[in-house]
Amino acid sequence: MRFALLSLALLAAPAAAQDDAPIVVTGYSELEQQIKSFVGALTPASPRGQIARFETAVCPGVFGIPEAQRAAVRERLRAVAKGVGLDVAKPDCTPNLLVMVAADKNAFVKALGKDHNYMFGDRTPAQVRKILAEPGPATAWQIQTMVNADGRAVANEGDMPVNRTTRNPSRITAAARPAFLAAAVVIDGAALDGLTTTQLADYAAMRALARIDPARIDAAAPSTILRILDAASDSEVPVTLTQWDFAFLKGLYSSPDNLYAPSQRSEIERTMNEEFDRAGGEGAPPRDKSPG
């Protein structure tokens, strides 16, 4: 049985010390290093690359579970998206953030690749095979396009992309950037045994709103909702997005949109530091209003 963490805060008991022991302050530098490592693990992008994200309103769609649970997951996804600064489409929108629960994840994704390959965008067959081969009980991918500095799609003339913009070129900022058009998360239903709709939604939010490979997260990294599907049956797991998760997403979606990856990471790290300084005030995850 999994024991859920009842608090997002990490409590540490002070070590015993002699009255005349010197006081050594190490907290801030250690935290900053943890943040840098956490952000680095979640943002695989080259120095001249960029960390993609949604730039249009998201519309969650949930499939493969009973309607009451689908509604709860949809509402939670909408709350998380709003909380990190994303626009959310009206309830009758066409879904562009899909969460699909399958009896057999591998067979389901293979069927998508065979019968609905448009779900993978313009990926090459080799790139689709890489998604199909992802180990573990979940897989996720995004469909993206390139937009210019004005936020308009970069046109293609033949096989050559053409960037039409009124902005002056710069070596410091990017003239065009990748932006998510849609995201899909597929989860094996057996991995959800004992979890709540909030945990399902929050895990899906992390996988859909950012291009993340959970396998890159070190075992010593801070608590994250990304571990819930692979955790041992008797281990403690978060009941919701952790402060680390929420601060990361908020940093990603509040950073300037024209930076290269190293500068994006610095902005995300800065935002995370600010969120932690607030110590659970405005930086806390959105209050969960959905049923468990």
In a domain, 4, yes or no: no
> Span 207-232, mean pLDDT?
92
Q: Is 8 helix (H, G, I), strand (E, B) or coil?
A: coil
- Provide the domain limits for residue 265: 35-277
Structure confidence at residue 220 as a pLDDT band (50, 70, 90): confident
In a domain, 123, yes or no: yes
Q: Is 61 helix (H, G, I), strand (E, B) or coil?
A: strand
Token pair 């806390």: residue: 284
With residue 269 as reference, give the H or E element that holds it. helix 261-277
In a domain, 137, yes or no: yes
Check whether 18 has a pLDDT greater than 50.
no
Count structural domains, the chain.
Answer: 1
In a domain, 268, yes or no: yes
In a domain, 211, yes or no: yes
Q: Which amino acid is at 190?
A: A
In a domain, 46, yes or no: yes
Sign of CA dihedral 97, 102, 104, 110: negative
Check whether 205 has a pLDDT greater than 80.
yes
List, for residues 135-177, the tens digit of each pLDDT value: 999 999 999 998 776 556 765 434 444 444 444 545 556 667 8
Give me the pLDDT at residue 257, please.
87
The whole-angstrom separation of Cα 47 and Cα 49 is: 5
Cα angle value 273/244/247 (rounded, 5°): 55
List, for residues 228-254, the tens digit of each pLDDT value: 998 887 788 899 999 999 999 999 999
Structure confidence at residue 103 as a pLDDT band (50, 70, 90): very high
Strands 160-162 and 155-157 come out as antiparallel
- CB count within 10 Å of CB 47 equals 8
In a domain, 290, yes or no: no
In a domain, 3, yes or no: no
Give me the pLDDT at residue 258, please.
86
pLDDT, mean over the chain? 83
Residue 106's closest CA among 231, 3, 190, 5?
Answer: 190
